[in-house]
Amino acid sequence: MEQLPDLAPLAAVAKTLAGEWGLELGVPFSATRYSYVVPAGADAVLKLRPAEDDESEEEADALALWDGDGAVRLLRRDDARRAILLERVRPGSDLSTLPEDEATARAVEIGPRLWRPAGASFRWIGDHVPRWLDNAESEPGRALVPLARRLSAEFDVGRAVLVHGDFHHHNLLAAGSGYVAIDPKPMLGEPEFDVAPFLWNPLSSRMRLDVTERRLAAFAAAGLDEGRMRAWAVIRGAYLQTDACALAVIRALV
């Protein structure tokens, strides 16, 4: 069973920060599991990450780089206490509430705003793929690992742009008339890397090959390399995906 972090210590830090920053905290958001995320007044959200969460290590740096263009706006940060204050997104509904083709069209619009050049201060996905696949050897997706290793060895992993890292329906929220991304796990990489989790979300749906092909076609029409998207779906599916139906669809992509 997956071990979730104890959020009580983070709640205590949040209370201290609220006093220092003059924030009025509300009831924590129930959907969050790995971080402590709580409303801070009417227009802000306070987020604290546990020490064991290294995937979001450069979250504040990425949000500062995006500066509200395609992603939620960063208002304040305290790196020592792993805390960030964010602009609250309203109305805040995510892409899973939209019809299939509209949700995909919105994602295709948001992605290029996030995939922009960034400095070497961000980690590179290529340094982490071997470890991720090693860890997958004991996971449900292990049947995909040999194929994933072969595919990853066949091309040079890009490092030209900043990627979101967890780009999917539930992390793309309505903000006024548009949508913005939240909860990035940013690294240097290539846009095609980010498409994979979008293919097997939202959580309420079952992955289907026909729907997956339409999504891939939409991103390809926007300029992404379809072969690399398919390869990344296999590579990332090997260590992220556990559903047998989804794994079968992913295998059928190459």
Q: Give the pLDDT score at 1.
A: 41
**Topology of the domain covering 8-88:** Phosphorylase Kinase; domain 1 (3.30.200)
| Distance, CA of 72 to CA of 99 (rounded, Å) | 23
Rg of the Cα atoms in the chain: 18
The per-residue pLDDT for range 25-63, each reduced to its tens digit, is 999 997 677 899 999 999 999 999 998 888 899 999 999
User: Which helix (DSSP H) or strand (DSSP E) does residue 189 occupy?
Assistant: strand 187-189
CATH architecture for the domain at 95-251: Alpha-Beta Complex (3.90)
User: Which residues, 6+ apart, have CB-to-CB distance to 138 below 8 Å?
Assistant: none
pTM across the whole model: 0.94
In one letter, which amino acid is 35? S
Q: Write down the domain spans for the chain.
A: 8-88, 95-251
Domains 8-88 and 95-251 share a fold: no
